[in-house]
Structures are given as structure tokens and as C-alpha cells.
């Protein structure tokens, strides 16, 4: 016999279904069973303890962790839509298909002198999951010394041992299967977590051809780069023949984004979490608190530039997770930043933090390659051979290079300040000193040599980027609307060290492709740029010709951005130009935190996602205690 409750529920459903149309019933059921909505009226019908601006990696990680506490009610505002079932997103085989579409912010830079006055594009995911929905999913962490170094910039308590536990918390690691081990895949189980939200595995379609081992052997022969077992273990100066990805271990290279990892498992069972799509946070309303600090009272959201605004109150606080490009814009629209910038966009200054938008660090990429030789790649990929040689492996005169850097750091730092890319010389010198220590003393990987089958030619290629740039840039609002394109100036190659290291990396890449393991073993030789464009010599080619290739190669387009911008709201002491303290809180505020790549003050020798998941887990734990 059915219970009275069941009978009542059935009768109620029948009553409502007779009175309401099917679409209305569908919407009511969706609201009752799903955290994700595009209905602003539904979102406005609730009250919130926390409002999060941006539902990418940092935003969704924080939203889901905060809403684990039933006393918290969390709203996450997402400027884009939900692409979890979009063919351009679901499988890594479609990597790149989202670029230049509505899923991509596609920020154009200001004209760059290093690019002959042309602009460059920085990609960023404009969709649920942010850039984790459109990136290539490479998984690895920086060198342990790089996390330890964060404490030298005023971040007491930060270290590898601390952040490692949070990085592991985010993971559900899958060891290589038997056939993958036979092909050469390795992993260190002690370096990973299991049972976390983000599935990490080796691609089920991974290449099994001879080019993987040949590339590893060539790197060892040509440069002395050793093979390491795992790029997540804290010692990454070496090469792995197979890297890991945020990807399901079975199926057609199924992407794991922050949306599928964190949100999907709870969206139908978490009534205290609302994710509002196609509405962006444009500013905070601030008020003074009893202790004299500023308190965020609410967030103003808008769907279109000409559309109505809605205000969402936050009783406990606001978390800004809009990413390294958009987070500074949101802060400036809220009156937080440099007085001169705020005056230009007509915003009254609330908090004087000149570091907002300054200190931008972005990497650049160039590729060389060969045409297909006589080998079968035996698989679909994606390409996943990653090497991080250190300075002594790519430069025979590394000691002299160190002296050159140290004797010029002062003037270079002042030049960046004069260009508006740094707050003060003292702060940038601290970063430079740390970078020099990491490069020359700790011997962290200084360039990435990414073994790329089928790009930029049909055979083996090498994608090269300098991991720890000395150049700095900036990003600022052009108005207070939250919809206008920012003034985005990455300042590519404004410090000469970056070109020196880039050319050294390209020479190292050429030397690797020339090695017998590739030349004879695969039957390949460099065809881009090729020896007719850059004649070979005992230094692997003339510096000036390589520099020209960096700036103007690839049919005149030259280098591209790597799409890893950081450091526009840095976690540093305030006197050095920092914007947030070691607990992610914006200086002079009581309840505003930033959780995204903008707080990282220096680059890592890694693709960033694994580090950022750990950072977001640490931030969420910190904010829950606030």
C-alpha cells in the first residue's frame, strides 16, 4: 500500500500539471533538481552567504567546497553558458575547435612592439568550467622550490609541503594500465591523490609508436636531459615520455573540466548552490565595517551591456574568480585599484591598491618541426611528451648569463615600473631575485620542449616556450561597464632575458631533432624553419636569425601566446605591490577573496591547472574558516 505522503504527492502533481503548461512544469522541476539555471528571477529569489564571480576552475572549486556546509548558500555568476555537452568541448580530440567562438573570450592585446606593432590573442574559456573547458588538459605541477619560493614574497606559511596536500585533494589519479606501462608510461602513486573530483589519467588513445621513446633518447643524447617518472612529484627538470591529462581513462578522450569534476556530481543534490549562467558580475557594492576595513555588501550582475542589472547580497563575502584578465577589471569597477586608472573610467576609489592589473606575466610559444618520416605513430594522441630542461642544459654559458642578469636587474626593474607594468622597483627586484635563485641554484626547468607529433609539420615537432619570463605587462579597464574590451598589454619581450632564453630553447630543440635517435631512428630532419632559413653552425644557428624567426616566423605571424596569464592581483606583501594577503583576502577588506591565477606572483614550470586546483582547494578551506 502506498503511503499517505505518496498519495498526497501524486494528487498535488496532478493538480499542478492540470493547471500549468508542460514548459512551466519542466522549469519548476529543473529548478527543484538542478543548481544550474539561466533564470535570474529564480536566482534572485534566494539569499546568499557567498557570491562568487566567475564559474571557472577557481570559482566552481570554491563554490562546491563552500556549499558542502549546509549553513552556506552560494551563488556563482557565470558570464558564459553551459558547454558540458558541446561537441567542441566534450572530447580532447576537438581541442582548438572552441577557439575564436562564443566559448572563448579571445582577448586581443594592444599593438606589441615585439610583434611589429601587431596584436596577439590570449585565449580564455567563456563558459562553465572556464579555461578547463577548452584547454588541452595537460597535468603536472611545478618544481617544489617554486612553491617554497612564494614565502619569500611575503606569503608566510606557503610551501610545497602545504600546497601539495591540497593539490592531491583535488585528484582522482589513475595509474597507467598494463599496455600503457609496456609502451613506456610511468607514474609515481605517492605524488597523487585518489578519490578527489578531478580524474587524471593517461589518454586511452595514447601514441605507442617509436617517436615517443626516440624523442626522450634524443633529449638525453643532445642535452643531457634525464627521464623522470612523473611531472607531479615536485622535481620536474627532466622529460616524461607520456604525460598525464585531466581526462577519463576510457572512452574517446573525454575531457574532465572543473564543471564536470566538481559541479556535475552535486548539481542535483545541492539546494544551497546556485549557478547562474549568462550573467556576469560587473562590480561590488562596498561598505565600511566596524574595524575600519571595507566590506563587500553585494554584487551587481548584468547579462548584456544594455540590459537591466540585478543585485545579489552576500552576507559573508564575495569571491572573485574571473581569471587573470577579468578579475582586475571587476576590482577596478568596484573602486579597488590605482587612482589614475579609476579616474579615467569614472569610478570613485574605495581602496588604494596600485598592484591591481599590474605585473601580468604571460609566456610565448614558437614551434619547429619536421615532415613525417618512416614511422607509424600508432595511436591518436594527444601529443604528451613534455621536457623541462634546466638552464645548464640549454646554455653553455649559463654562469655568464647569470652575471649579465644580476648586473642589469636594477635598471630592467625600473624600466618595467616606468612602463606601468610594475608597482615599484623593490617589488619587482624581489621577484627577479627569486627567479634567478630558482633558475641557477635550484635548477628548475627554464623552457618547455613539448614533443608534438603532427605539428607544426606532419612529423615530429617541438613547441617551445620560456617558462619564467622576466617581462611584465598590465591589464586595465577602459570603462566601468564590465563589457568593454580591456587595455591588455602583456609586454612581450620587453626584458631581453626572455629572448635570450627563447633562442636558447629553440637551439636546444634543433639540436634534439638533429640527434640520431630522430634523424636515423625516425627518418626525419628539421623542415621548419629549416637549414636554408637558419643555416646551422656550432651554436645551432645565428642568434639574430633565430630572433627574427621568433618575432616574424610562421608566415610572418611569429610567436603566439601560451594562454597562461597570471599575477594581475598578486599574492605578495602590500609594500611590494601585492593585492591579496597569504589567505587570499584583498588588502583593506573584511570579506573579499580572490581565487584564480591572478594571485600567483610568479610562473611555474608546469601547465597551470593542477597547481590552480590545489590553490583553489586551499582557498576554499581558508574561506570556510573565516
Please write the tens of the pLDDT for every residue from 394-419. Answer: 999 999 999 999 999 999 999 999 99
At 423-465, the pLDDT tens digits run 999 999 999 999 999 999 999 999 999 999 999 999 999 999 9
Cβ atoms within 10 Å, residue 446? 26
Residue 282 in this model has a pLDDT that exceeds 60: yes
At 176-190, the pLDDT tens digits run 999 999 999 999 999
- Asked if 462 and 367 touch (Cβ cutoff 8 Å), the reply is yes
Confidence of residue 353 (pLDDT cuts 50, 70, 90): very high
Long-range contacts of 420-425 (CB under 8 A, 24+ apart): 420/358, 420/474, 421/358, 421/359, 421/360, 421/471, 421/472, 421/473, 421/474, 421/489, 421/491, 421/494, 422/358, 422/359, 422/472, 422/577, 423/354, 423/355, 423/358, 423/359, 423/576, 423/577, 424/576, 424/577
Residue 31 in this model has a pLDDT that exceeds 80: no
* DSSP-assigned states of every residue in 2-24: --HHHHHHHHHHHHHHHHS-HHH
Residue 603 in this model has a pLDDT that exceeds 70: yes
Name residues whose C-beta falls within 8 Å of residue 432's C-beta, 6 or more positions apart in sequence. Answer: 405, 409, 412, 413, 470
Q: Any catalytic annotation for residue 485?
A: no
- Mean of the per-residue pLDDT values of the chain: 95
pLDDT at 25: 41
Instruction: For residues 272 and 288, give the distance between their C-alpha atoms in angstroms, rounded to a whole number.
Output: 28
> How many Å separate Cα 237 from the centre of its chain?
20
Cβ atoms within 10 Å, residue 29? 11
Class of 87-265+359-625 in CATH? alpha beta
pLDDT at 21: 52
Over residues 492-521, the mean pLDDT reads 98
- The closest of 613, 589, 587 to 600, measured between CA atoms, is 613
Over residues 72-89, the mean pLDDT reads 99
Residue 277 in this model has a pLDDT that exceeds 80: yes
Over residues 3-22, the mean pLDDT reads 38
Q: Any catalytic annotation for residue 564?
A: yes
Over residues 614-625, the mean pLDDT reads 99
What SS3 state is found at 205?
coil
- The closest of 288, 295, 292, 286 to 316, measured between CA atoms, is 295
Over residues 286-291, the mean pLDDT reads 84
Instruction: For residues 139 and 205, give the distance between their C-alpha atoms in angstroms, rounded to a whole number.
Output: 16
Which set of grid coordinates corresponds to residue 175? 595509474
At 229-256, the pLDDT tens digits run 999 999 999 999 999 999 999 999 999 9
pLDDT at 2: 31
Q: What are residue 385's DSSP bridge partners?
A: 451
- The closest of 330, 310, 312, 313 to 321, measured between CA atoms, is 330
Residue 89 in this model has a pLDDT that exceeds 80: yes
Among 50, 294, 476, 607, the active-site one is 607
pLDDT at 552: 96
Which burial class, exposed, middle or buried, applies to 348 when counting CB atoms under 10 A from its CB (0-12, 13-18, 19+)?
Answer: exposed
Provide the strand spans (E) within 84-215. Answer: 107-108, 121-122, 138-139, 171-173, 198-200
Confidence of residue 157 (pLDDT cuts 50, 70, 90): confident
Pairing relationship of beta strands 460-466 and 364-370 according to DSSP bridges: antiparallel
Domains in the chain: boundaries: 87-265+359-625
Q: Prior bond to 418 cis, omega within 30?
A: no
Instruction: For residues 346 and 332, give the distance between their C-alpha atoms in angstroms, rounded to a whole number.
Output: 10
Over residues 30-48, the mean pLDDT reads 88
pLDDT at 1: 31
- Asked if 140 and 232 touch (Cβ cutoff 8 Å), the reply is yes
pLDDT at 4: 33
pLDDT at 33: 55
Over residues 478-505, the mean pLDDT reads 99
Cβ atoms within 10 Å, residue 132? 28
Amino acid at each position: 500500500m502506498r503511503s499517505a505522503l505518496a498519495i498526497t504527492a501524486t494528487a498535488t502533481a496532478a493538480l499542478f500539471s492540470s493547471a500549468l503548461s508542460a514548459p512551466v512544469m519542466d522549469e519548476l522541476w529543473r529548478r527543484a533538481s538542478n543548481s544550474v539555471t539561466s533564470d535570474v528571477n529564480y536566482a534572485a529569489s534566494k539569499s546568499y552567504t557567498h557570491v562568487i564571480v566567475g564559474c571557472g576552475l577557481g570559482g566552481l572549486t570554491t563554490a562546491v567546497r563552500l556549499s558542502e556546509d549546509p549553513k552556506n548558500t552560494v551563488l556563482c555568476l557565470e558570464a558564459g553558458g553551459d558547454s558540458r555537452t558541446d561537441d567542441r568541448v566534450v572530447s580532447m580530440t576537438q581541442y582548438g575547435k572552441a577557439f575564436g567562438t562564443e566559448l572563448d573570450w579571445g582577448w586581443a592585446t594592444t599593438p606589441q612592439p615585439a610583434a611589429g606593432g601587431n596584436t596577439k590573442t590570449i585565449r580564455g574559456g567563456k563558459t562553465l568550467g572556464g579555461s578547463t573547458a577548452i584547454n588541452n588538459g595537460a597535468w603536472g605541477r611545478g618544481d617544489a622550490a617554486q612553491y617554497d619560493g612564494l614565502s619569500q614574497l611575503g606569503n608566510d606559511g606557503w610551501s610545497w609541503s602545504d600546497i601539495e596536500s591540497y593539490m592531491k585533494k583535488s585528484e582522482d589519479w589513475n595509474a597507467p594500465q598494463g599496455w600503457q606501462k609496456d609502451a613506456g608510461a610511468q607514474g609515481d602513486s605517492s605524488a597523487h591523490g585518489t578519490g578527489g573530483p578531478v580524474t587524471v589519467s593517461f589518454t586511452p588513445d595514447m601514441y605507442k609508436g617509436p617517436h615517443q621513446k626516440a624523442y626522450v633518447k634524443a633529449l638525453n643524447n643532445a642535452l643531457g636531459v634525464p627521464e623522470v617518472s612523473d611531472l607531479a612529484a615536485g622535481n620536474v627538470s627532466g622529460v616524461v615520455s607520456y604525460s598525464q591529462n585531466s581526462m577519463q581513462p576510457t572512452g574517446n578522450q573525454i575531457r574532465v573540466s572543473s564543471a564536470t569534476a566538481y559541479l556535475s556530481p552535486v548539481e542535483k543534490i545541492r539546494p544551497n548552490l546556485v549557478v547562474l549562467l549568462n550573467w556576469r558580475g560587473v562590480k561590488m557594492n562596498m561598505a565600511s565595517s566596524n574595524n575600519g576595513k571595507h566590506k563587500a555588501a553585494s554584487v551587481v550582475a548584468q547579462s548584456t551591456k544594455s540590459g537591466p542589472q540585478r543585485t545579489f547580497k552576500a552576507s559573508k563575502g564575495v569571491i572573485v574568480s574571473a581569471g587573470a584578465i577579468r578579475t582586475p577589471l571587476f576590482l577596478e569597477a568596484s573602486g579597488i585599484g590605482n587612482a589614475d586608472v579609476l579616474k579615467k573610467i569614472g569610478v570613485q576609489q574605495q581602496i588604494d591598491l596600485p598592484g591591481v592589473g599590474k605585473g601580468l606575466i604571460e609566456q610565448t610559444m614558437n614551434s619547429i618541426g619536421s615532415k613525417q618520416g618512416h614511422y607509424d605513430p600508432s595511436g591518436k594522441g594527444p601529443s604528451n611528451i613534455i621536457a623541462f630542461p634546466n638552464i645548464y642544459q640549454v646554455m653553455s654559458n649559463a654562469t655568464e648569463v647569470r652575471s649579465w642578469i644580476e648586473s642589469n636587474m636594477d635598471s630592467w626593474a625600473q624600466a618595467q615600473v616606468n612602463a606601468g607594468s610594475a608597482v615599484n622597483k623593490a617589488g619587482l627586484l624581489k621577484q627577479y631575485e627569486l627567479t634567478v635563485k630558482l633558475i641557477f641554484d635550484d635548477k628548475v626547468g627554464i623552457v618547455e620542449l613539448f614533443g608534438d607529433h603532427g605539428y607544426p609539420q606532419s612529423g615530429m615537432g617541438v613547441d617551445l616556450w620560456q617558462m619564467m619570463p622576466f617581462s611584465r605587462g598590465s591589464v586595465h579597464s577602459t570603462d566601468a561597464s564590465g563589457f568593454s574590451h580591456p587595455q591588455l598589454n602583456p609586454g612581450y619581450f620587453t626584458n631581453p632575458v626572455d629572448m635570450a632564453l627563447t633562442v636558447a630553447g629553440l637551439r636546444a630543440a634543433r639540436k634534439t631533432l638533429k640527434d640520431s635517435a630522430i634523424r636515423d631512428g625516425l627518418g626525419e630532419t628539421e623542415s621548419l624553419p629549416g637549414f636554408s632559413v637558419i643555416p646551422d653552425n656550432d651554436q645551432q644557428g645565428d642568434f639574430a636569425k633565430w630572433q627574427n624567426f621568433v618575432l616574424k616566423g610562421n608566415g610572418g605571424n611569429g610567436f603566439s601566446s601560451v594562454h597562461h596569464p597570471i599575477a594581475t592581483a598578486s599574492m605578495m606583501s602590500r609594500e611590494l605591490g601585492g593585492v591579496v594577503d597569504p589567505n587570499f583576502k584583498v588588502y583593506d577588506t573584511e570579506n573579499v577573496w580572490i581565487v584564480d591565477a591572478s594571485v600567483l606572483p610568479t610562473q611555474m614550470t608546469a601547465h597551470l591547472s593542477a597547481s590552480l586546483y590545489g590553490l583553489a582547494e586551499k582557498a576554499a578551506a581558508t574561506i570556510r574558516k573565516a
